[in-house]
Amino acid sequence: MATRAFTLIEILIVVVILGIMAAISVPQFARASEEAEIGAARDQLVKLRNALSIYAMRNANQFPASIAAGDGTWGELMGPYFKTGLPPKNLYVDPSKETTIVLGNTPPVTYDGTFAWMYDASTGEVWAGGFGANDEPFPKP
């Protein structure tokens, strides 16, 4: 009575095929993760802009004076406009900087992962760190 089994060659062929499939699919998962970060940052940017617009409409076209540079210091927006009590996060930047605000009057021109949001107090404009003026992400270095 002969036993049936796979030969070494058959097993090696299967292993090679699995290796090729892994080599193709792993980069796709990495790209999906980056796309999720980009989508989440855009979503938070829209929420920030909406909150600033609503605040300005309710306050005679004035923007919050209490927004300051720092870690999630959105001042008056944090209460009624961000009910979770948590500042918006930009997941496309360095994780230790995902709530950091800097003050400026022009959008970023290259990828800079050292801040999450750039705010212009005079116009109420806000831009996401790592994104350009047209809200398109810069490639990460």
Q: For residue range 48-92, list pLDDT tens digits in order.
A: 999 999 999 999 999 988 899 999 788 888 878 887 778 899 999
User: According to the model, what pLDDT value does residue 116 have?
Assistant: 96
* Paired tokens of 31: 């790209």
CB 44 within 8 A of CB 74: no
Cα–Cα distance for residue pair 13/19, rounded to 1 Å = 10
Tell me the domain boundaries of the chain: 10-128
Comparing CA positions, the residue from 77, 93, 81, 87 lying closest to residue 37 is 93
DSSP assigned state of 62: P
* Mean pLDDT of the residues in the chain: 90
Q: How confident is the model at residue 1 (pLDDT cuts 50, 70, 90)?
A: low
**29 pLDDT above the threshold of 90:** no
Q: For residue range 84-137, list pLDDT tens digits in order.
A: 778 899 999 999 999 999 999 999 999 989 999 999 988 999 999 999 999 999
Bridge partners (DSSP) listed for residue 131? 137
User: According to the model, what pLDDT value does residue 43 have?
Assistant: 95
